[in-house]
Amino acid sequence: MQKVLFISSSIKKLDEMRNEYSNVLQGQYLVLASNSLLDGVGAFVPECIVVYLEGARRQILFPLIDLRENLRFRSLPLILLSDEEDRGVFKANVKPGPDYILPAYTGMDGLKKVINKIFEESTPLKHVLIVDDDPVALKVVKGYLDQFFKVTCVNSGEKALKFLEKTHPDCILLDCFMPEMDGPATLSKIRQLEKDSRIPVVFLTGNSEREMVMNCVSLHPSGFLLKPVKQNELIRKLKEVIG
């Protein structure tokens, strides 16, 4: 679970942040709060820091100055909640400055949107390999997934095995019926590869391939999807098997 640290020199504001933000973010992020700019940074390394600044003076900012100069912490995304005057004091004294600046009165929805954006940008996309000899199907399925995953397409089982020699995707979408080396034959060879034997594999199959599907069960695929597959069904299945 990703960790967000809320800090503020204002105990009143800190209590508000605990009540307002923690309830919204709990379950999605581990939320910690501190009325000291350094408490909590040491026992663990947060992945995002939210600072509420009110009545800023250079002396108050000393711990933050040290924090941003520490190589261990300077790359952590920092969100500053402040009015214009306090923002100026912060930027004049703390280097590097905040990564995101929001008004002091920013509500929980606005802050959550920024936190979500930070973690979406910092989290590498899961890699899906699509194996299908039909160029139209490849294009359609890739279009469904491009926004949510890193996608690689190949048009044969042989090319899939060649690709797996150098790259380890998080999941494989495998067409059942292909010439030369069909889906079950491809998966059988994948299962023989030591480093790739546990990759989740989801078969893409048509209505007419039920006998082939039965032959695949012994290979322990992670599931079957009927072609043409719907985007929401496909994404739901991939998130389920990738975790």
pLDDT of residue 171: 96
pLDDT of residue 32: 55
pLDDT of residue 20: 66
- Domain over 127-242 is classified CATH 3.40.605.10: no
Q: How many CA atoms lie within 13 A of 75 on its CB side?
A: 3
What is the CATH class of 2-122? alpha beta
Averaged pLDDT score across all residues of the chain? 82
pLDDT of residue 207: 64
Task: Indicate whether this model's pTM tops 0.85.
Answer: no
Domain ranges of the chain: 2-122, 127-242
- The Cα 156–Cα 178 span in angstroms is 7
What digits encode the pLDDT tens for the residues 114-135? 988 888 777 778 899 999 999 9
Q: Which residue ranges in the chain fall short of pLDDT 50? A: 35, 37, 39-40
The yes-or-no answer to whether 2-122 and 127-242 have a common fold is: yes
pLDDT of residue 48: 84
pLDDT of residue 15: 73
pLDDT of residue 40: 45
